[in-house]
Structure 1
Amino acid sequence: MTTHSRSRRSFLADTRFLIGIALVIASIAGVWLLVGAARQTTPVLQASRTIVLGEPLGSSDFQVVEVGLGALTDDYLAPQDLEPGMIAARTIDEGELVPRSGATDADDGRTTTVVITSTGAIPAGVKAGSTVELWQAPPSKDGRSFGDPRILVPDGVVASVAEPEGMLNDARTDVEVVIDRTDVADVLSAITGGSALSVIPAGPAE
């Protein structure tokens, strides 16, 4: 009877020992799998400059970087995904990894650019990629003054700002702005109608 009990205890001890060894091996294997996954990188596109909404995308606008994105790999644009005719679906900041949602086909774009002359100085910090409001003050009937200003376009995006030339240059500045095509008629009407136009940084969304 004693011999049988000892054999059973020995068997249980051996079984627990083997289970312990198996758990240790499984743990080590799991760590190595995690380390291996972390070391795996994928080439994706990174913007080498600020690219504004609606701007055509070309290989010269990007650099290829190797990053470990894991399960998020498919959410970003790889070099082979860049095709002719693609445009920016939103502003892509310099140094940003390009998400697939940040690019679209030109046929799907609903924006265009217009050049306006701001009657006042452009606020500091307004540059390519900035979201701005366009304000319009219509001329009075006698042409000697302007009416109350109102928002003409609430969500334009600056494509470029022309640097004033000459020391005697006034505060007027030419600004190229990306706007929705539905706003084009109103903007052109304001320009040809002699309205005073101003570019104001857009405030935070409420």
Structure 2
Amino acid sequence: MTALDSARPRPRAFWGDARFFLGILLVAASVAGVWFVVSASRQTVPVFAATRTIVPGEAVSKDDLRLVDVALGQLGDAYLTSDSVEDGLIATRTVEEGELVPATAVDAAAAAATTTVVLRSTVDVPASVDAGSVVEVWEAPLIERGSYDVPRILVADATVVSVTRDDSMMGGGAAALEVVIPRADVAAVLAAMADESALSVVPTTGAK
């Protein structure tokens, strides 16, 4: 061994390099992250789906719902679960049959800003109008027997609960509809019916 060889520093072992340990930690963290994502995607939670179309203002009970197991990840709390169904709940928006019920789609009945009324359309109601349809209610005020004023919108945003069509010749294609309307419009609707105004229901373009 020469003096030059003895002065040359020994190479460090690869395991003694801090970068080696850092690389091991990064690989381990990556594997753990992938495992967590895969594990979370496989976990399901029971949430409620609607067994029928539910419209705003309708009472919601467990008879209108069925539990389904779905993988929602961190979104599980955003939907209605068995622990969050209480007596006195109503729908605050339309929930289609089979749709998962968002927690925000129901509220206590005391907080309702809508109510239901039954009115009769004096003209034919399109076949596309059924439960859950969003419609406008138009009024043509009665001037005198057989004479009506220019039609105008009475309720701009109503939701149909049910439709009973009368296709007989005597019925003239008219229909009776149960609709959900804002409470603020109730007085005007009742006054229109009491004054024998001609009421018509018109679907809102592009809405069901």
TM-score, shorter chain, exceeding 0.5? yes
1:114 equivalenced with 2:106 (yes/no): no
* Corresponding residue for residue 182 of structure 1: 184
- Go from structure 1 to structure 2 and tell me whether the alpha carbon gap of 1:136 and 1:5 turns closer, same or farther (over 3 Å shift): farther
- Bigger strand fraction: 2
The alignment covers a number of residue pairs equal to: 204
- Go from structure 1 to structure 2 and tell me whether the alpha carbon gap of 1:139 and 1:12 turns closer, same or farther (over 3 Å shift): same
Q: Which amino acid aligns with 2:71?
A: G
Q: Residue deviations 1:46-73, cap 9 Å, x none?
A: 1111001000001111111111222222
Structure 1 unpaired stretches of 5+: none
CA distance in structure 1 between the aligned counterparts of 2:8 and 2:122, rounded to whole angstroms: 100
- Go from structure 1 to structure 2 and tell me whether the alpha carbon gap of 1:122 and 1:4 turns closer, same or farther (over 3 Å shift): farther
Choose which of 161, 172, 175 in structure 1 pairs with 2:174: 172
Q: Which amino acid aligns with 2:204?
A: A
* Corresponding residue for residue 102 of structure 1: 105
The 5-angstrom pairing of residues 1-206 of structure 1 reads 2=5, 7-11=10-14, 16-140=19-143, 142-164=144-166, 166=168, 169-203=171-205
CA distance in structure 2 between the aligned counterparts of 1:35 and 1:6, rounded to whole angstroms: 48
Q: Which amino acid aligns with 1:22?
A: L
Greater gyration radius: 2
Shift of the alpha carbon at 1:167? 6.0
Identity within the alignment, %:
48
Shift of the alpha carbon at 1:22? 3.5
Structure 2 unpaired stretches of 5+: none
Q: Which amino acid aligns with 2:123?
A: G
CA distance in structure 2 between the aligned counterparts of 1:105 and 1:153, rounded to whole angstroms: 24
CA distance in structure 2 between the aligned counterparts of 1:4 and 1:125, rounded to whole angstroms: 94
- Go from structure 1 to structure 2 and tell me whether the alpha carbon gap of 1:28 and 1:186 turns closer, same or farther (over 3 Å shift): same
CA distance in structure 2 between the aligned counterparts of 1:24 and 1:202, rounded to whole angstroms: 56
CA distance in structure 2 between the aligned counterparts of 1:5 and 1:81, rounded to whole angstroms: 74
- Go from structure 1 to structure 2 and tell me whether the alpha carbon gap of 1:4 and 1:177 turns closer, same or farther (over 3 Å shift): farther
With the length of structure 2 as denominator, give the TM-score of the two structures.
Answer: 0.88
Q: Which amino acid aligns with 2:69?
A: E
Shift of the alpha carbon at 1:13? 7.0
CA distance in structure 1 between the aligned counterparts of 2:114 and 2:206, rounded to whole angstroms: 22
- Go from structure 1 to structure 2 and tell me whether the alpha carbon gap of 1:166 and 1:6 turns closer, same or farther (over 3 Å shift): farther
Q: Residue deviations 1:5-45, cap 9 Å, x none?
A: 67434346765544444333322222111111111111111
SS in structure 2 of the partner of residue 8 of structure 1: coil
What is the aligned-residue RMSD (CA, Å)?
2.2
Q: Which amino acid aligns with 1:56?
A: A
CA distance in structure 2 between the aligned counterparts of 1:11 and 1:192, rounded to whole angstroms: 93
